[in-house]
Chain A
Amino acid sequence: MSGAGAAGVAAAGEVYFAALRDADEDAAVGAALGLLAGGLSVPQVLASLVVPAQRRVGACWEGGRWDVAREHAATHISDRVVAALGARLPEVPRRGRVVLACVDGEWHALAARIVGETLRAGGWRVTFLGASTPAARLGEYVREVGPDAVALSCSVAAWLPTARTMVRAARGVAVPVLAGGPGFGPDGRWARALGANAWARDAAHAVELLGGGWPHYAEPAPPLAVPDDEFERFGARRALLAERLRGALCGEGPAALGEGFGRLPGFLAAALLVDDEEVLVAQVRWLAGMLAARGVEPRAVGAALARAAGLLEGFPRARRMLAAARADVGG
């Protein structure tokens, strides 16, 4: 049987996942190259082997079965596999150039790497700026290399404010922006709100968008439809509020709660920026699920949200959003 049949892919998937669990680079690379030898293309191997296995890795971590170090080790092995697959792509750029970056704060670089290699397989010249690219560096780079597109990866909605800065940096020099990753919301709705020219649901979609009808240049990003100055005021006091929030949580809640809520101010800022409570609601829902796997009750989450709201005198929109999140988890 060909190694590339559906059964072959499934079998390779098991071998691959075991290799990630054991941080066994050679076994993981071997599984990927086996599918390549069986006739699959590099984008197909990425989409059918690496992406599903990484979803399982994420689920293992969220479910509390893996600690963060193991998750990092597994992801690192997938990184190496993507590099090994990329090294087998012929260097024949026949399209334009794409500058690819993870938004500032975004450390999950693997998805961007997968998109990068898929774009390269589609004939694009890709420059990957790596995890957590500072916005200023992106701006410098884009000016210098004059790409046809900037592709921004964001897996966590908390980084939307920096994503906005990066969208402005790219469009400020007329380069259109392609956004990708779950951080931009269901169907990429926040990508549009921030001024990205398009949102890709996966790597293949990114190739499709860039290949057909991609704008040759972009106008500067339009101003945001924000009803008030809460985002700016919140941003100015964020460090202080985060500190007080941590204090309130660590004092009264279980330790896991304080840790889990550490990033909540970032999500609240993002929710204020795109004026959509769903940014916060979805994150709190996810957090409550993860904390439940670690023995924290939804009621404790609700109480923590109420304490957080108590700290936000003078931020009515933020308080409404916290109330919505609280109602959603039933706390």
Chain B
Amino acid sequence: MVARPASGEGGEAAPRELLDALDEALVMLDAAGRVGGLNAAARALLPGVSPGSALRDAPVPELREAQAAGRARFDGLYRGRRLTGRWVGLPSGRSAWVVRDVTRERAREDELLEERRRKALLARTGRALSGTLHLRRALSLAARLSVDTLADGAAVTLLCQPGLAETAVCGGEDVVFRTGPPAGAGTVRVLGTGRLERHEGVTARQGADLCAPGLAPPESGSVLFVPLLARGACLGVLTLVRACPYGDAELELVREHAERIAAVLDTASLYRLQSVAGERLRAALRPAPLPEVPGTRLGVAYRTSGRGALIGGDFCQVLHSASEGWLFAIGDVCGEGIGAAVYSARVRHALETVAVAGGPLEEGLALLNRTLAASGEARFVSLVAGRLRVRGDGSVGVALIGGGAPDPVVVREGGGVERVALGGTVVGALPEIGFGRAGVELAPGDALYVCTDGVHEARDPQGRRFGTARLLEALGTCAGAPPGAVVQRVEQLVVEHLDDREHDDLALFGAQAWPAGHRMRGTR
């Protein structure tokens, strides 16, 4: 509260002509607070205040209150004008209110504030929507943002193909989706014309006719259909419903809001086409989970290189062959990304054929090699494959075939670690190659681990390789443990070694003869 300053002393009354010439309104008060006189501006601005009346009867409530409370300022509204006044003390207990008409100034300030609010609102729409490529999320957010800022209820209808639209309706809390032919007379019309429609004083019945199902304007409320335009076409319609009408100035804001929504929906629709194709491709290239092989515990870990967008060239497969029993293969296609993943998928499909066709694994691999070499593609795959034979005593015999991949490692249950020298030539580069061969016996609890090159070659920020020695050391601490846990542990050590550096695709596979003393799957 602004305290009233003490009255000045002395001075003479100014001539009436001078007071009348002022732009500001002057209301003179005597010592009892009664209106003594008004200048010309005051008579025009405050026609309800007359000389001789008490100011406490003045028709401006804010002025009355300020006077009663002894405040030195007031801001008020009188007959459509916005007033501001200040109190001036005069000699002999007299005083005056100096009042100004600030309607214009305040309107300009309000305009600026309104402009700022609109900018903030549009910026928020932009921020919330800009990164969203998922179409349903974009539709849902668009409806939600409209309700939060411009309407009591909103629907966003997007034409997916002729005659089929997706609509998100937000009536308050939840967003409901509907897919089907565009519905609501207003929606359908604006989809065709691409021109904004404004309806005022809409009855419940009219509202139900006009709007998409699920969206109802308040009784005698307003409905706005705003076309969503992008690249010269009408993609859809934003429907807003509200109790109070939409003014002309607000329409501009609504249009800008709709422009932002349209741009995002346009991008998200294009993206959906691409991402559906991308996701199908990825699903076909993604490794399948391992089956359960009776008498063994298996584990696998993959990590695709950061550059490879969730798919890579490393693979690991466990397959059942009618003639050979359980087979596995783990390999690494040279290069990375989509090209390597597609090549890797070819290898995997060929190996599936080998398993279904039956016959010795090495013959199948030789066939695979000739097929890949004949394709003329400048890629190859290094791999280790093997046949797992579970015996009645719980031991597992593994017949290994090497195609130029890092040596497998056997971890005995008691703690011994053995490298299995395997060698062999990479597959797919030359028409005739030699494979490495080795046989391994796993007693219950013993395990065989095979990993791709990415593990050995992982380099830390100083350029040091993870290396075979560390791999053997890490595996040595995991004797007897479930392979699923072991491969995860090695993956963790490798990634920690990398310390944020880029890496190649990694794959690790482990197979353990079921440890004695534990119940076995498939033998109960």
Asked if A216 lies at the interface with its beta carbon under 8 angstroms from chain B, I say yes
CB–CB B133/A143 < 8 A: yes
A92-138 interface (Cβ within 8 A of B) = 107, 131-132, 134, 136-137
Task: Give CA–CA (A134, B303) in the complex, Å.
Answer: 11
Task: Give CA–CA (A73, B512) in the complex, Å.
Answer: 13
Given contacts A26-B518, A79-B484, contact A146 B495 (CB under 8 A): no
Contacts of B124 in A (CB 8 A): 219
A3-42 interface (Cβ within 8 A of B) = 22-27
CB–CB A77/B133 < 8 A: no
Determine the residue in chain B with the shortest Cβ distance to A148: B137
Task: Give CA–CA (A80, B518) in the complex, Å.
Answer: 16
Asked if B144 lies at the interface with its beta carbon under 8 angstroms from chain A, I say yes
Asked if A1 lies at the interface with its beta carbon under 8 angstroms from chain B, I say no
Asked if B156 lies at the interface with its beta carbon under 8 angstroms from chain A, I say no
Contacts of B37 in A (CB 8 A): none
CB–CB B481/A70 < 8 A: yes
Asked if B94 lies at the interface with its beta carbon under 8 angstroms from chain A, I say no
Contacts of B137 in A (CB 8 A): 146-147
Scan A180-208; emit 1 where CB is below 8 A from any B CB, else 0.
Answer: 00000000000000000000000000000
Asked if B485 lies at the interface with its beta carbon under 8 angstroms from chain A, I say yes
Asked if B437 lies at the interface with its beta carbon under 8 angstroms from chain A, I say no
Interface size on B, residues (CB 8 A): 43
Contacts of B136 in A (CB 8 A): 146
Residue of A22, A73, A147, A172 near B485 (CB, 8 A) is A73
CB–CB B519/A26 < 8 A: yes
CB–CB B138/A22 < 8 A: no
Scan B470-495; emit 1 where CB is below 8 A from any A CB, else 0.
Answer: 00000001111110111011001001
Task: Give CA–CA (A172, B8) in the complex, Å.
Answer: 62
Contacts of A243 in B (CB 8 A): 462
Task: Give CA–CA (A217, B126) in the complex, Å.
Answer: 12
CB–CB B518/A22 < 8 A: yes
CB–CB B481/A73 < 8 A: yes
Contacts of B492 in A (CB 8 A): 107, 131-132
Task: Give CA–CA (A76, B479) in the complex, Å.
Answer: 15
Least distance between B46 CB and chain A CB atoms (Å): 47
CB–CB B482/A25 < 8 A: yes
Given contacts A144-B275, A217-B145, A220-B127, contact A69 B132 (CB under 8 A): no
CB–CB A143/B485 < 8 A: no
B490-524 interface (Cβ within 8 A of A) = 492, 495, 499, 515, 517-519, 521
Task: Give CA–CA (A91, B144) in the complex, Å.
Answer: 27
Residue of B138, B297, B479, B489 with most partner-chain A CB within 10 A: B489
Task: Give CA–CA (A44, B140) in the complex, Å.
Answer: 33
CB–CB B482/A173 < 8 A: no
A interface, size bucket: 35 or more
Residue of B140, B141, B482, B519 near A23 (CB, 8 A) is B482
Least distance between A246 CB and chain B CB atoms (Å): 12
Determine the residue in chain A with the shortest Cβ distance to B268: A146
Contacts of A76 in B (CB 8 A): 481-482, 484-485, 488
Determine the residue in chain B with the shortest Cβ distance to A76: B485
Asked if A89 lies at the interface with its beta carbon under 8 angstroms from chain B, I say no
Least distance between A244 CB and chain B CB atoms (Å): 13
Residue of A22, A80, A144 near B484 (CB, 8 A) is A80
Least distance between B368 CB and chain A CB atoms (Å): 31
Scan A47-80; emit 1 where CB is below 8 A from any B CB, else 0.
Answer: 0000000000000000000011110110111011
CB–CB B482/A174 < 8 A: no
Task: Give CA–CA (A74, B306) in the complex, Å.
Answer: 30
Task: Give CA–CA (A95, B499) in the complex, Å.
Answer: 38
Task: Give CA–CA (A166, B492) in the complex, Å.
Answer: 20
Contacts of B461 in A (CB 8 A): 239
Task: Give CA–CA (A79, B132) in the complex, Å.
Answer: 33
Least distance between A234 CB and chain B CB atoms (Å): 15
Contacts of A25 in B (CB 8 A): 297, 482, 518
Task: Give CA–CA (A72, B297) in the complex, Å.
Answer: 15
Asked if B128 lies at the interface with its beta carbon under 8 angstroms from chain A, I say yes
Contacts of B495 in A (CB 8 A): 132
CB–CB A145/B144 < 8 A: no
Contacts of A146 in B (CB 8 A): 132-138
CB–CB B141/A217 < 8 A: yes
Least distance between B336 CB and chain A CB atoms (Å): 15
Asked if B68 lies at the interface with its beta carbon under 8 angstroms from chain A, I say no
Least distance between B382 CB and chain A CB atoms (Å): 26
Asked if A259 lies at the interface with its beta carbon under 8 angstroms from chain B, I say no
Contacts of A131 in B (CB 8 A): 488, 492
Residue of B131, B145, B518 with most partner-chain A CB within 10 A: B131
CB–CB A145/B481 < 8 A: no
Task: Give CA–CA (A26, B520) in the complex, Å.
Answer: 8
Scan A203-241; emit 1 where CB is below 8 A from any B CB, else 0.
Answer: 000000000000011011000000000000000000100
A and B contact pairs by CB, cutoff 8 A, 16 listed: A25-B518, A26-B521, A68-B477, A69-B478, A69-B481, A70-B481, A73-B480, A80-B484, A131-B492, A143-B134, A145-B134, A146-B138, A147-B137, A219-B127, A219-B128, A220-B127
**A-B complex: 5 closest residue pairs judged by Cβ atoms:** A146-B134, A146-B137, A173-B131, A76-B485, A73-B481
Known: A69-B477, A146-B136. 7 other contacts (CB 8 A): A22-B517, A27-B518, A68-B489, A76-B481, A131-B488, A140-B310, A143-B133
